[in-house]
Chains A and B, each alone.
Chain A
Amino acid sequence: MTTPRVGTAAALAALTLLTATACGGGGSAQDSDEMHVWMYQDTLVVVQEGAVERFNADQGADGVQAVIDQVPGDNYVERLRTAMGSPQRPDVFFNWGSGSIAPYAEQGLLEPLDDHLAENPELAEAFLPSVLESGKVDGVQYGIPLRGTQPVVLFYNRAVFDDVGVEPPQTWDDVLTLVDEFTAADVTPFALAGADPWTEQMWLQYLVDRIGGPEVFARIAGGDSEGWRDPAVLEAAEMVADLVDRGAFGDSYASVSYTEGGASTLLSEGRAAMHLMGSWEYSTHLDQARDFAENDLGYVAFPPIPDGAGDPANIVGNPTNYFSVTADGPHLDRALEFLSYTAQDEYVADMVANGEVPTTADAEDVLADSPDPEFAVFQYELVRDAPHFQLSWDQALTPEVATPMVTEIEALFNGQRTPQEFVDALAAL
């Protein structure tokens, strides 16, 4: 009888020991002198790295040092959510504003920034009010803009257009004609990264907005899944199916990845003529194919659709990205202080130098310093003149709905769903 008792006691001791060490490990990481800033990993992080360097220099040798943790884009959202549910939260983190941070705000994990902005009016005034607006959840400010604005535009390869002897599309008819001409010339009309369905989502966002106006998605985002049955959604899905049938995306796009550079390379190598993508595509090419970016990369706004109810000046994409600060962090004051670095002249200059269009109120004056002032002004005017800037659907909806929605979009583009099946599946979410 003694042995089992000894056994139980030993097991308990072992268990306590293990859990105790596990907790110890968790605690010590929080007590360090490092302030963790989570960034979505891409070529633009150099701007934030500059801000961290300036911040650390201002702190002196014995102060808190900020560190950028670059998280690969493929699973940034998953990694962030897991970290936020644990004691190992980042102090400051990159996000997409409104919908993407709402679950954290609801749980009280985010520091409300209203008081901080009231105490530092120069920070609040530095940004365009409309852009600050998307950093709010239920009227409370949780995000400070950290990036340039990122509208989705239609990029094209000038050299390919010259070879085939055509002009970039101004109308939807132009798009359909170009599809036929490029297919005949053995060039894929549109590069499409089908393995990353959010790139396919951009097409639907534009088509639905052009056909039915922003109200169609606003109803869906409001929680009414019957909103998917709006005729505009079906019509947009039919146009997608039509494009696929015409070979607008070639015949092997389903396994192409955007994050690994597949679709962008097709455009820069001239194997595809056009690419519907966020404006960050410019910096990607500047980094990966500099010659192409400087000489042959063209861009136009998404064309209007005949008889569409939506304003052709509307745009979709990411108004910008935001920094949010976690509540009760060990370096809360320093984290708030760090936010101001995103409005400094050096930071804005770095953004412009990397081809971004800042969302600071005085951005127009510095755009001339951009590596491509023409593109910068094009974007700035696009955003300034747009009556509506639709945030990416998968960021505006809750993950329970966004995940199956994105899968359905992928299935529509792969021809695994007819437009009607697509609408029915979404309405059932």
Chain B
Amino acid sequence: MSAHAQGRAAPRTGRPGPLWALPGVAFFALFAALPMLLVAYLSFTHWGGLGDPAFAGLDNWTRLAGDPLMHRAVGLSLLLTVASWALQTPISLLLGVWAAGRQRGRAVLSAVFFLPLLLSSAAVAIIWRALLDPNFGPPAWIGPALGLGTPDPLGGGGSAFWVIVFVAAWQFIPLHMLLYQGGARQIPETLYQAARIDGAGRLRMFWHITLPQLRNTVTTSSVLMVVGSLTYFDTVLIMTDGGPGTDTTIVPYLMFRAGFRSWELGYASAIAFTLVIVATLIALVMVRLTGFGSMRSTREGM
């Protein structure tokens, strides 16, 4: 069967010509590679956005290595990444697998869970900030009713950070749920039928069939989460502005602050370039470690 198909198609296909990649490559070159090169160049200059950049040698890079604010931001970004992954993965996996089934009311609930994804990040951040306002939001009457005074989740250093983690999860779980739903739908029903004949329960089937079969989906979703968390920005800007103090100043926000508050675009470029390299490295390592790149089939032997 396969030999026959190959024989028939051979004269026409083979590897597609490089011309086909052109629109993609041109787009990437213009909107990703070129700006990245410019950022790399700017990181070796002092520039305030007006006039011409002045060459600064390694100034920005040595400053970056010794900046306590940067060290703190790196720590916060890593914590945000780990916390987001640990919070979002289990929830979206379970919701996704559940939504792939055929239960009554599933479509309605799926649609409800899906709603946050339809809102823009800015809208999400503004809504949550209003909801958490200590004087005019629900905390103003819920707090005293519970005898807690007026809680100010966005005003406390520790709590503001976890609010960011929560809002990110609220916003992005629907996306990952969708990925897992798609992944779970791809699992052949015959696997479950065979397992049922062998007397496996729901938990065993989930553990031994669903999870292994979702391996590639887990990788995709995790890479998206990790890279997304490392570059998370808009919610922080709108909800906390990096504060209170610098307690939610993660790396992308620090980059914005250096660039567009202090107008040290050279230093901001050094931060940006570090971020690009680190995020790329982490994504590569994750793909390599999970064997995602080898494109091994999850259905070997079927």
Are A195 and B245 touching (Cβ within 8 A)?
A: no
In the bound complex, what is the Cα–Cα distance between A10 and B20 (angstroms)? 12
Please tell me if B150 contacts chain A, counting CB pairs below 8 Å. Answer: yes
In the bound complex, what is the Cα–Cα distance between A407 and B247 (angstroms)? 11
Are A416 and B245 touching (Cβ within 8 A)?
A: yes
Are A254 and B49 touching (Cβ within 8 A)?
A: no
Please tell me if A82 contacts chain B, counting CB pairs below 8 Å. Answer: yes
Please tell me if B116 contacts chain A, counting CB pairs below 8 Å. Answer: no
In the bound complex, what is the Cα–Cα distance between A255 and B242 (angstroms)? 11
CB A161 to nearest CB in B, in angstroms, measures: 20
Please tell me if B72 contacts chain A, counting CB pairs below 8 Å. Answer: no
Within 8 A of A (CB), among B8-31: 17-19, 22, 25-26, 29-30
Please tell me if B75 contacts chain A, counting CB pairs below 8 Å. Answer: no
Interface string of A410-429 (1 = CB under 8 A from B): 11001011000000000000
Interface string of A79-92 (1 = CB under 8 A from B): 00110110000000
List the B residue with the shortest CB-CB distance to A408: B245
Are B243 and A410 touching (Cβ within 8 A)?
A: yes
Please tell me if A7 contacts chain B, counting CB pairs below 8 Å. Answer: yes
Are B246 and A407 touching (Cβ within 8 A)?
A: yes
In the bound complex, what is the Cα–Cα distance between A3 and B15 (angstroms)? 14
**Chain B positions within 8 Å of A266 at CB level:** 135
**Chain B positions within 8 Å of A15 at CB level:** 26, 29-30
Interface string of B253-264 (1 = CB under 8 A from A): 000010011111
CB B110 to nearest CB in A, in angstroms, measures: 34
Interface string of A51-79 (1 = CB under 8 A from B): 00000000000000000000000000010
Please tell me if A231 contacts chain B, counting CB pairs below 8 Å. Answer: no
Interface majority SS on A: helix, strand, loop or mixed? helix
Instruction: Tell me whether A255 and B261 are in contact in the complex, defined as CB-CB below 8 angstroms, given that A11-B25, A82-B49, A414-B245 are known contacts.
Output: no
Are B136 and A399 touching (Cβ within 8 A)?
A: no
CB B211 to nearest CB in A, in angstroms, measures: 41
In the bound complex, what is the Cα–Cα distance between A254 and B26 (angstroms)? 47
Instruction: Tell me whether A407 and B245 are in contact in the complex, defined as CB-CB below 8 angstroms, given that A103-B48, A414-B157 are known contacts.
Output: yes
Which residue of B49, B134, B156, B242 contacts A256 across the interface (Cβ within 8 Å)? Answer: B134
CB B141 to nearest CB in A, in angstroms, measures: 13
**Chain A positions within 8 Å of B241 at CB level:** 195
Please tell me if A251 contacts chain B, counting CB pairs below 8 Å. Answer: yes
**Chain A positions within 8 Å of B50 at CB level:** 81, 84-85, 103-104, 107, 109
Which residue of A194, A404, A411 contacts B262 across the interface (Cβ within 8 Å)? Answer: A404
Please tell me if B228 contacts chain A, counting CB pairs below 8 Å. Answer: no
Are B244 and A7 touching (Cβ within 8 A)?
A: no
Interface string of B45-63 (1 = CB under 8 A from A): 0001111000000000000
Instruction: Tell me whether A6 and B19 are in contact in the complex, defined as CB-CB below 8 angstroms, given that A103-B48, A195-B243, A403-B257 are known contacts.
Output: yes
Are A271 and B135 touching (Cβ within 8 A)?
A: yes
Are A11 and B26 touching (Cβ within 8 A)?
A: yes
List the A residue with the shortest CB-CB distance to B263: A399
Most buried by A among B129, B132, B260: B260
Most buried by A among B30, B49, B150, B246: B49
**Chain B positions within 8 Å of A254 at CB level:** 152, 154-156, 243-244
In the bound complex, what is the Cα–Cα distance between A7 and B18 (angstroms)? 8
**Chain B interface residue number, banded:** 35 or more
List the A residue with the shortest CB-CB distance to B150: A252
CB A82 to nearest CB in B, in angstroms, measures: 7
Are A3 and B263 touching (Cβ within 8 A)?
A: no
Are B136 and A255 touching (Cβ within 8 A)?
A: no
Instruction: Tell me whether A7 and B257 are in contact in the complex, defined as CB-CB below 8 angstroms, given that A103-B50, A194-B155 are known contacts.
Output: no
**Chain A positions within 8 Å of B152 at CB level:** 251-255
Please tell me if A306 contacts chain B, counting CB pairs below 8 Å. Answer: no
**Chain A positions within 8 Å of B150 at CB level:** 251-252
**Chain B positions within 8 Å of A253 at CB level:** 152, 155
In the bound complex, what is the Cα–Cα distance between A197 and B263 (angstroms)? 19
**Chain B positions within 8 Å of A3 at CB level:** 17-19
**Chain B positions within 8 Å of A403 at CB level:** 257, 261-262
Within 8 A of B (CB), among A363-415: 399-400, 403-404, 407, 410-411, 414
**Chain B positions within 8 Å of A251 at CB level:** 149-150, 152
Are B133 and A262 touching (Cβ within 8 A)?
A: yes
CB B67 to nearest CB in A, in angstroms, measures: 11
Are A4 and B262 touching (Cβ within 8 A)?
A: no
In the bound complex, what is the Cα–Cα distance between A414 and B157 (angstroms)? 9
Are A255 and B51 touching (Cβ within 8 A)?
A: no
**Chain A positions within 8 Å of B132 at CB level:** 255
Please tell me if A283 contacts chain B, counting CB pairs below 8 Å. Answer: no
**Chain A positions within 8 Å of B25 at CB level:** 11
Instruction: Tell me whether A11 and B22 are in contact in the complex, defined as CB-CB below 8 angstroms, given that A254-B156, A414-B244 are known contacts.
Output: yes
CB A2 to nearest CB in B, in angstroms, measures: 10
CB A383 to nearest CB in B, in angstroms, measures: 30
List the A residue with the shortest CB-CB distance to B245: A411
Give 4 nearest A-B pairs by CB, closest first: A254-B155, A252-B134, A252-B152, A411-B245
Interface, chain B (partner A; CB < 8 A): 17-19, 22, 25-26, 29-30, 48-51, 129, 132-136, 149-157, 160, 240-247, 257, 260-264
Interface, chain A (partner B; CB < 8 A): 3-4, 6-7, 10-11, 14-15, 18, 78, 81-82, 84-85, 103-104, 107, 109, 194-195, 197, 251-256, 262, 265-266, 271, 399-400, 403-404, 407, 410-411, 414, 416-417
